[in-house]
Chain A
Amino acid sequence: DTAVSQTPKYLVTQMGNDKSIKCEQNLGHDTMYWYKQDSKKFLKIMFSYNNKELIINETVPNRFSPKSPDKAHLNLHINSLELGDSAVYFCASSQDGVNQPQHFGDGTRLSIL
């Protein structure tokens, strides 16, 4: 069974649209994350979330918002997509907080036309 799964794997859409990426983890972890990886492979944290606290990287535009319906899911909503949003987005989870290994999904490649 896949520990951290994301859907869709590929997402191609037009500038200005609103889209969502789903993430589910079956590890029983308390903390989930979203990362953005650009074309140069640079990985950057966007959000860290558990049932107590949302930590937002201050450089993330407010067009991006995480939604957590329950502990096992953290979806990423993106409004008014821009060309610069094209990247691979990774979801991850850890048992409890950042000082433990994070397990990553296989990514969602978002392409903005």
Chain B
Amino acid sequence: GESVGLHLPTLSVQEGDNSIINCAYSNSASDYFIWYKQESGKGPQFIIDIRSNMDKRQGQRVTVLLNKTVKHLSLQIAATQPGDSAVYFCAEAGNMLTFGGGTRLMVKP
């Protein structure tokens, strides 16, 4: 099987609870931010994005919050399900897309 990112921070939540995954970004000039979900053996999958002229954006069961003052991004997942178990990455767009280190979300049934 695929090697496990043993040094990834892990968030463990109960099924049905809400999850919040946080991310700090580095470049104050970045104006586009994305959250990706990566399941085992798969490539990163787009979840939601936000541009710097917004501070909140909602999708289906997901919300992204952007705080430009402290360069912080968060992903909120409502009513977390077992299928949400994956590694989540934030990414910021400068002249290239720069990924954060990832957070592993584990959902307990």
| Residues of A in contact with B (beta carbons under 8 Å apart) | 4, 33, 39-45, 48, 55, 57, 88, 90, 92, 98-99, 101-107, 109
Contact = CB atoms under 8 A, between A and B. Distances in A.
B83 interface: no
B31 interface: yes
Contact of A40 (B5, B44, B45, B93): B5
Q: How large is the interface on B (under 10, 10 to 19, 20 to 34, 35 or more residues)?
A: 20 to 34
A43 B8 contact: no
A98 B97 contact: yes
Secondary structure dominating the interface of B = loop
Given A101-B34, A106-B43, A107-B43, A43 B89 contact: yes
A99 B32 contact: yes
24 contacts: A4-B43, A40-B6, A40-B8, A41-B5, A41-B38, A41-B101, A41-B102, A42-B101, A45-B98, A88-B2, A90-B43, A92-B43, A98-B32, A98-B93, A98-B97, A101-B34, A101-B46, A102-B46, A102-B97, A104-B45, A106-B41, A106-B42, A106-B43, A109-B2
A43 B5 contact: no
A94 to B, nearest CB: 9
